[in-house]
Chain A
Amino acid sequence: DTGVSQNPRHKITKRGQNVTFRCDPISEHNRLYWYRQTLGQGPEFLTYFQNEAQLEKSRLLSDRFSAERPKGSFSTLEIQRTEQGDSAMYLCASSFLGKNTIYFGEGSWLTVV
């Protein structure tokens, strides 16, 4: 069990560019979550998957955001046409359906300049 892994850990991009983050959950965890966190705030829910199905998306997830989990294992979060307001830490977490504990990755920092 290597924990939830996210990469890249840091990304600096120019406004208008597209970025993609990857998350590898704990193996056999069938639930995968994406959160966004800005300084001084708690994480805000973006979306979650159960296996490969995306079951819920927050209103925070604009049309420029898309998440996939094609094989029910790793997931990607893509942000198109980035804006300065997208600058935040993007957190991935995973859990096993029926178990109460959710484990987080170390996060991917995005800075849009």
Chain B
Amino acid sequence: TQLLEQSPQFLSIQEGENLTVYCNSSSVFSSLQWYRQEPGEGPVLLVTVVTGGEVKKLKRLTFQFGDARKDSSLHITAAQPGDTGLYLCAGVGSNYQLIWGAGTKLIIKP
């Protein structure tokens, strides 16, 4: 069974600080996706990383896929209150089904 461990589960920091969210697995994924979800809404896709070692940037968000395609990280620089939300990682496993991390609830305080 493929599992994806996401940490931390909860993070509350001040505006302007940097943070990193991690997703780790013992399994290899064909790709990994990061989503952000607001209360009462479905997950919104942020990025898909496919190649081992790949780094993608989305404004102040930097996503990295591990060389072995078993882990990924999301780094936010100079966090802003608008970054508050639930961040979910999901590895694409066999049959293109998603293996979900538990999510990171992020609160950015002004």
Contact = CB atoms under 8 A, between A and B. Distances in A.
Between A31, A91, A101, A103, the greatest number of chain B beta carbons within 10 A of the residue's beta carbon is seen for: A101
Interface residues of B, number: 24
B31 A91 contact: no
Residues of A contacting B: mostly: strand
A102 interface: yes
B95 interface: yes
Contacts of B13: none
Interface string B80-99: 00000000101010011110
A85 interface: no
B103 interface: yes
A107 interface: yes
Kindly list the 9 A-B residue pairs having the minimum CB-CB distance in the complex, ordered from nearest: A100-B31, A42-B100, A107-B42, A104-B42, A106-B42, A101-B48, A104-B43, A42-B103, A91-B42
B102 A42 contact: yes
A89 B105 CA distance: 18
B33 interface: yes
Contacts of A48: 95, 97
A31 B103 CA distance: 24
Nearest to B40: A109
Interface in A62-105: 89, 91, 93, 95, 97, 100-105
B45 A95 contact: no
A107 to B, nearest CB: 4
Nearest to A42: B100
